[in-house]
Amino acid sequence: MASQKRIAKELTDVTSNPPAGMTISLPDDSDIHKWHVTMDGPSETPYAGGHFGLIVRLPAEYPFKGPEITFATRIYHPNVTNDSEGSICLGPLKPGNWKPVTRLKSILEAIRQLLIEPQPDDPLEPRIADQYKNDRRDFEKTARSYVAQYAKGAVKFSDATGTEETTTKRSEPEQPRRMMGQE
């Protein structure tokens, strides 16, 4: 598979020279299609001091099909679903927008940027987006309380992915079911 070489290269790249505040590991060394990323909440944001887990799933068709990236840690953010799914709304990840040349590193950096600068005009959680726009202090307060509740200490990747064991061998590409309707 042509994608193996590309993924291996990206992985070496990203582990030897990781994006700011991130560590990347493979939950299963034999499967390079699934990455665990720990992202530190950027300073000067309500997420500072938190450690957020991200799960990156690369479909078999990668890089012709984009990765699926979800938060494993609950986070209070206009562009991330406020549930255990942790789906992210990010322009380049939408099916029509994905370009095969795009590197995961730049996507991860874009997610970090999203924490620094939420996009309330393209929200996944309209209510949180409203609050972000109109009542910033309340928004930051809740965001911080989420950090205190969910994002302290070592990151747990297990709960959002109950089917972890069964997904190691994934012949069928996983459809981005959670992103539906968010075009």
Partner 1 sequence: MDTDDDFMSNVSSEEDMLPDDSDNDMSGDDDFDFDDEPDPDIDIQKDIGQQKRAAYDVPFTVHQPQDIQRQQDDLINEVNMILNISKEEAAILLRHFRWNKERLIEDYMDRPSQVLDAAGLSEKISGPPKLQVIPGFCCDICCEEEDGLESFALKCGHRYCVDCYRHYLAQKIREEGEAARIQCPSDGCNIIIDAKSLDLLVTAELTERYHKLLNRTFVEDKDTLKWCPAPDCQNAVECNIKKKDLNRIVPTVSCLCSHRFCFGCILNDHQPAPCDLVKKWLKKCADDSETANWISANTKECPKCGSTIEKNGGCNHMTCRKCKHEFCWMCMGLWSEHGTSWYSCNRFEEKSGTEARDAQAKSRVSLERYLHYYNRYANHEQSARLDKDLFHKTEKKMVQLQKESGMSWIEVQYLSSASKALQTCRQTLMWTYAFAFYLARNNLTEIFEDNQKDLELAVESLSEMFEKPVQDLADQKLKVDIMDKTSYCNKRRIILLDDTAQNLADGKWTFNVEFSTPSAGPSGSGARK
Residue 175 C-beta: closest distance to partner 1, Å: 11
Residue 41 C-beta: closest distance to partner 1, Å: 27
- What is the rounded distance in angstroms from the CA atom of residue 47 to the CA atom of residue 68? 22
| Residue whose C-alpha is closest to residue 56's, from 20, 21, 96, 22 | 22
- What is the rounded distance in angstroms from the CA atom of residue 183 to the CA atom of residue 93? 11
Residue 8 C-beta: closest distance to partner 1, Å: 8
Q: Alpha helices, DSSP H only, in 41-135?
A: 104-116, 126-134
- What is the rounded distance in angstroms from the CA atom of residue 55 to the CA atom of residue 69? 6
Task: Give the nearer residue to partner 1 in terms of CB position, either 99 or 169.
Answer: 99
Task: Give the nearer residue to partner 1 in terms of CB position, either 65 or 74.
Answer: 65
Query: Of residues 55, 80, 89, 147, which has the active-site annotation?
Result: 89
- What is the rounded distance in angstroms from the CA atom of residue 160 to the CA atom of residue 178? 13
* Interface positions with partner 1 (CB under 8 A): 2-3, 5-6, 9, 61, 63-65, 95-96, 99-102, 106
Task: Give the nearer residue to partner 1 in terms of CB position, either 43 or 91.
Answer: 91
Q: Is 83 a catalytic residue?
A: no
Which residues are known to be catalytic? 89
